[in-house]
Structure 1
Amino acid sequence: MYRDLTRLAARFKTKLQWVVLKGRHSLSSPVARCLPVACYTSQPRKLLYCTYIQLFAMPKLDALSLPPTVAAQLWRGDHLVRAPMAGIPTGWDALDAELPGKGWPSQGLTEVLQPQAGTLEWRLTGMALQQCPAHKPVIALGPPLPPHASGLAQSGLAPGQLVWIHGSRPQDQLWALEQLLRANAAAALLAWLPQVQPEQIRRLQISAQQFEGLVFVFRPESSRHQASAAPLRLLVRSSQPWSLQLELLKRRGPVHEGTLELPAVPPSLQAVLPARLWPGTVPQPATLPSTTSTRAILLPDHDSDLGRPAAPTPPPRRQRAPQSSLQH
């Protein structure tokens, strides 16, 4: 195999670089023989991707007996990555099963896209915010609408725990979010950044790697096709009342196809909401009245019982004879 790779590199006038995980190995290492990553050209910033390496070297990875330290750092793209910390449960088992760490991740950004700001954020994050430590605040940075304190209190978030920060300029909100990430003094950060750029997302992601709480960044659906350094990216819509339709756009794992239907009934309505209005309930067709013919019911005459003479029966109407069409 090494001879074939050497010939391939000589053909394209490249130099082989043997890179494994975070360290470099000599060519005598069995790991290095099976894990060459790419061929770098002699010109700077020119990379020749070697399909031969991917097709013939990577399948041999399963047959290797890797050291435990190397195997712990190895992640294959068709599996969910091993999260360094357990995630905070989202409140939906179907969503937890699709996320690394089985919940909302910490030490990283979670980017949420939605068609309209200010409608679905609290329903999506409410059950996770209930599990935040009570001695740390939950900070909402730049929400489009003032948070409804009494409604959030019914969801389990104490009004005294919520801190609302409003910035007049987008750059002020970015600066405030970066300082909050570095301070690491909040249980969760929720930031509405409709005008943030990809390079600013990357900078925030670097700062979020040292933050031990939840970080949600809300953006419009129109930024779906922009590059983003956030490790978790999703699109949320409202398909029907009290239900969320979720699409996983990016995660550290295999590509997720399809959508997730998540019921999102507020706790205050769960005890009083009729079963027919719950998400996923098929409405029953309305029962139409019977179309069978009805007969008139004749009531008895009670005038004789009261000592009064019965009402005279009206004479029958005389039918008019039809006129003859003949003229005499």
Structure 2
Amino acid sequence: MPKLDALSLPPTVAAQLWRGDHLVRAPMAGIPTGWDALDAELPGKGWPSQGLTEVLQPQAGTLEWRLTGMALQQCPAHKPVIALGPPLPPHASGLAQSGLAPGQLVWIHGSRPQDQLWALEQLLRANAAAALLAWLPQVQPEQIRRLQISAQQFEGLVFVFRPESSRHQASAAPLRLLVRSSQPWSLQLELLKRRGPVHEGTLELPAVPPSLQAVLPARLWPGTVPQPATLPSTNSTRAILLPDHDSDLGRPAAPTPPPRRQRAPQSSLQH
């Protein structure tokens, strides 16, 4: 069978051809994440729209806003940012310091998992939000598949947060990642799935909260390499005298005897 050559295809067909060893460059680019290193590894150079972004983490309620905050502040101001079922109430003043207006945030609390799934599916179909953030710890793979189908018509960002224990379950989300807390004020991110080649290793992302950026000492910022202490320079140098040692024995050498005093020559004159 002859090898398929993209150059021999019509331009409209070749533009839609995707090879598995290349990152997909989506026609509709998403919103930049705020980290150039992460954008370079994502299709569309940012958080994708028209699809689910599944975020796994060891503990819910700790890293979600730090991971998504820089992208949320770029969302259109005339559309709300909806948080569905967060484990902790959103901190309005803290989010305001991150650039998200309190009036733009809508918090929906559902007591049952099936209610949260129903609400998220209706929000996706309505396409009336700039971003959707949903905490679904008990969602099943077939439910993720159904949500992904609905998200393909949604023009904003969709984040689904799940526990780290579900990393080995199948998922229809086109983008899947694991985030942990790393060194002080940093996030360690592992790309589990993307539309492109397998990503090896982890990414270290500095994530200092905006409220601390003005008061945190520079030596505590992520990625700062401590500089060795330097001695003050002086114009004069001082020699340090060390005792003599036998190089082959490693013990102090015998002290050098003082020079003998010479006798004065006797006079030859007789008195």
- Is the pair's TM-score, using the shorter chain for normalization, greater than 0.5? yes
Q: Tell me the SS of whatever aligns to 1:79.
A: coil
Distance 1:216 1:268 in 2: 24
More moved, 61-70 vs 154-163: 61-70
Is this contact kept in 1: 2:244–2:252, CA < 8 A?
no
Structure 2, unmatched stretches of 5+, are none
In the other structure, the counterpart of 1:188 is 131
Whether the 8 Å contact between 1:129 and 1:188 is mirrored in structure 2 is: yes
Q: 1:323 to 1:59 in 2, by over 3 A?
A: farther
Q: CA RMSD in A?
A: 12.3
In structure 2, the CA distance between the partners of 1:139 and 1:295, relative to structure 1 (3 Å rule), is same
Summarize deviations over 1:166-210 as a string: whole Å, max 9, x none. Answer: 000000000000000000000000000000000000000000000
Render the CA deviation track for 1:105-151: whole Å, top value 9, x for unaligned: 00000000000000000000000000011111000000000000000
Q: Is the 8 A contact 1:236 1:246 kept in 2?
A: yes
Asked if 1 retains the 8 angstrom alpha-carbon contact of 2:56 and 2:163, the reply is yes
- Change in Cα spacing, 1:188 to 1:313, as seen in structure 2 (3 Å) is same
* Change over 3 Å in CA distance of 1:315–1:89 after alignment to 2: closer
Q: Give the structure-2-normalised TM-score.
A: 0.82
- Structure 1 residues 301 and 237 mapped into 2: Cα distance closer, same or farther (>3 Å)? closer
Cα deviation for residue 66 of structure 1 reads: 1.1
Tell me how many residue pairs correspond in the alignment.
271
Q: Are the structure 2 counterparts of residues 176 and 322 from structure 1 closer, same or farther at C-alpha, using a change threshold of 3 Å?
A: farther
Q: Which residue is equivalent to 1:203? A: 146
Task: Rate the CA distance shift 1:296–1:102 in 2: closer, same or farther, 3 A.
Answer: closer
Secondary structure of the structure 2 residue equivalent to 1:180: helix
Preserved contact between residue 108 and residue 211 of structure 1 (Cα < 8 Å): yes
Instruction: Write the distance in 2 (CA, Å) between the matches of 1:212 and 1:248.
Output: 23
Q: After TM superposition, give the deviation of residue 285 of structure 1 in Å.
A: 7.5
Q: Distance in 1 between matches of 2:132 and 2:222?
A: 29
State the SS of the aligned residue for 1:189: strand
- Distance (whole Å) between structure 2 residues aligned to residue 284 and residue 269 of structure 1: 22
**CA contact under 8 A between 2:187 and 2:205: conserved in structure 1?**
yes
Change in Cα spacing, 1:289 to 1:210, as seen in structure 2 (3 Å) is: same
Determine if contact 1:113/1:218 at 8 Å carries over to the other structure. Answer: yes
Change in CA separation of 1:252 and 1:303 when aligned onto 2, cut-off 3 Å: closer
Q: Which runs of 5+ in 1 are unaligned?
A: 1-57
The answer to whether the 8 Å contact 1:304/1:310 transfers is no
How far did 1:309 drift? 51
